[in-house]
Amino acid sequence: ETGVTQSPTHLIKTRGQQVTLRCSSQSGHNTVSWYQQALGQGPQFIFQYYREEENGRGNFPPRFSGLQFPNYSSELNVNALELDDSALYLCASSSRTDPMAPLHFGNGTRLTVT
């Protein structure tokens, strides 16, 4: 069983730039969600994708957007980066056929905005 993998592991960007983070879901999982974990905080839900469509969103502005592909992998895109976007971005996958199952998280991408 292949777990959730994220790339890259670390990234440094300049304020105003755009960034794309990638996630491959665990085999057998069809739903992907993204979380932002700022330093010293708990993860905050950004959004979730199922069947290649966004089907839930947290309190994040539209410059945070995403995609899900037919193989269930996903991208998180952030435009017009701000210093406060510096955080660990976590991807989690799950199966819609088992709604009570826990989420499986990747190791995250550490984004630093300077």
Going 99 to 101 to 102 to 104, the CA torsion angle's sign is negative
Cis-peptide, bond into residue 61, ω within 30° of zero: no
Nearer to another protein, 67 or 88 (CB): 88
Q: Which of residues 81-110 bind another protein (CB under 8 A)?
A: 90, 92, 94, 100, 102-108, 110
Structure-token pair, residue 20: 């794309």
- Which part of the chain contacts another protein (CB under 8 A), choosing from 13-21, 40-48, 64-72, 76-84? 40-48
Helices (H), the chain: none
What size, in residues, is the chain?
114
Distance in Å, CB of 26 to another protein, minimum:
12
- The contact set with another protein (CB under 8 A) reads 4, 6, 31, 33, 35, 40-45, 48, 55-56, 58, 90, 92, 94, 100, 102-108, 110
